[in-house]
A = this chain, B = another copy of it.
Amino acid sequence: MKQGNILSRIAVLGLIGACLALLLTAPPLAQAQDPLPSWNEGPARQAIISFVQKVTDKSSPAYVPPAERLATFDQDGTLWVEHSLYAQAIFALDRVHELAAKHPEWKAEQPFKAVLANDREAMARFTEQDWAKIIGATHAGMSTEAFLQIVQDWLAHARDPRFKRPYTELVYQPMLEVMHYLRANGFKTYIVTGGGQEFVRVYSEQIYGVPPEQVVGSSIATRYEYQDGKPVLMRLPKVFFIDDKTGKPIGINLFIGKRPLAAFGNSGGDREMLEYTGAGPGARLMMLVLHDDQNREYAYGPAQGLPDTKVGTFSQALRDEAK
């Protein structure tokens, strides 16, 4: 069987479209009967509700005990807004500016020179190696605790250029409702992100209700050493694990040791996670978030024939397969 066939079989359940509202002001979750108040009526909403009913009803042949109820969510573009650059890439670029005084050599050295000159054209052409240099210079060389503090400080001050709000407020209300609904039905919800695990852990509990131990992401190596006589974990400029594409099922098995019952993604980086989820026995739910609302967020990707606007985004091919 070709890979494409598998995905068309497993991902046919749902495409979330046209229903994504940005949580620009966060309403409290409704106490009402409706578990998904922000969702339009339609097949995607219905697929979620009937899936949850099936796996939680003890008399159903598709019943799954609570310990096996696992749902995984991509973050960027699935739970919160991404556009052109991930929030974490913007964090890295901001850090280059902040650290420039200590690195006079960067004025003449790429890729730092382009960042410091705000040369958008050059930045748009950055290779993976360029980004690796930037990550190494901005995400390593400090203890894990110092890094946590740096991220917290950045999140408190950084603003999305269009919405002028903290990134932690630019989350999708419908997806928060799905997470809440699944947890209320005995699911454990995990974030499985190509982004940095320690970056996302800083705010995952506060904005998604997902504790640090339920965030699986990309990571750099750390070394156990002593600072002023106290043991610390020092972050090294060396990739340890990339939690993207085939890395997502690998990371899920490594960190969780169970196959998800439900998975939510939006881009080509989520393909294998959705496929791996769907290849398990019994009822499964796989969904893709489609970005077609240019007023309340960014419209990009194949929705309405719009071009992809970021590296590795949801490709037309993936949507065609899912259809």
Contact = CB atoms under 8 A, between A and B. Distances in A.
A67 B2 CA distance: 44
Interface stretch (A37-45, A218-226, A315-323): A218-226
Nearest to A198: B257
Interface string A202-229: 0001000001110100010011101011
B272 A224 contact: yes
Interface residues of A, number: 40
A258 B212 contact: yes
A224 B201 CA distance: 26
Contacts of A222: 250, 253-254
B215 A233 contact: no
Contacts of A231: 6, 249, 272, 275-276, 279
B198 A230 contact: no
The 8 closest A-B pairs by CB, nearest first: A1-B229, A212-B257, A224-B246, A213-B256, A201-B257, A231-B279, A231-B276, A230-B279
Interface of A: 1-3, 5-6, 67, 144, 188, 197-198, 201, 205, 211-213, 215, 219, 222-224, 226, 228-231, 233, 240, 246, 249-250, 253-258, 272, 275-276, 279
11 contacts: A1-B230, A6-B229, A188-B213, A212-B257, A213-B255, A213-B258, A223-B250, A224-B246, A224-B250, A231-B272, A231-B275
